[in-house]
Amino acid sequence: MTSIKSEVENITDEIQEPVACIGPLNFNRQTKKVSTVRGVPLYLNEKEFDALHMLASREGETLTFEMLYAAVWGSAEGLNEVETARLTLSNLAGKVKDAGADFMWIEHKQKSGYTFKMRWRRNE
């Protein structure tokens, strides 16, 4: 658990800028709003925003459920919270797919974790 905590701290330290453009997404950490560079808003709750920001900041890397859970939800109080987190990540993947259609998606790898992927160039 210590290695997961230090990895999460390293990741979250790197993504503290209030406004960031990561690939095809514009994040505003102050308002917790995100939109595509095409102007399509993603309607996310706070947990979805935090999870997407973390995943997009590490595009192409697989982040374990435990890493995402520690960074976004903190410590688990019970099974219901873990299931809520998994459902949130599943819903987030659907919202990203709907907003990005063919140029971005979240891949869930069983027993491995979640990966944000994109096929996109700034001039599109």
Q: Hey, which residues does 109 pair with through a beta bridge?
A: 113
**pLDDT tens digit string along 54-92?**
999 998 999 988 888 888 988 756 657 778 888 999 998
Q: Is residue 124 part of a domain?
A: no
Q: Is 111 exposed, middle or buried (0-12, 13-18, 19+ CB in 10 A)?
A: exposed
Dmax over CA atoms of the chain, in Å, equals: 45
- What is the torsion angle, in degrees rounded to the nearest 10, for the CA atoms of residue 40, residue 46, residue 50 and residue 56? -10
The answer on pLDDT for 2 being more than 70 is no
Q: Is residue 123 part of a domain?
A: no
Domain count, the chain: 1
Which domain range does residue 87 map to?
A: 2-118
Prediction pTM value = 0.76
CB-CB contact of 32 with 69 (8 Å): no
Q: Is residue 85 part of a domain?
A: yes
CATH number at residue 80: 1.10.10.10
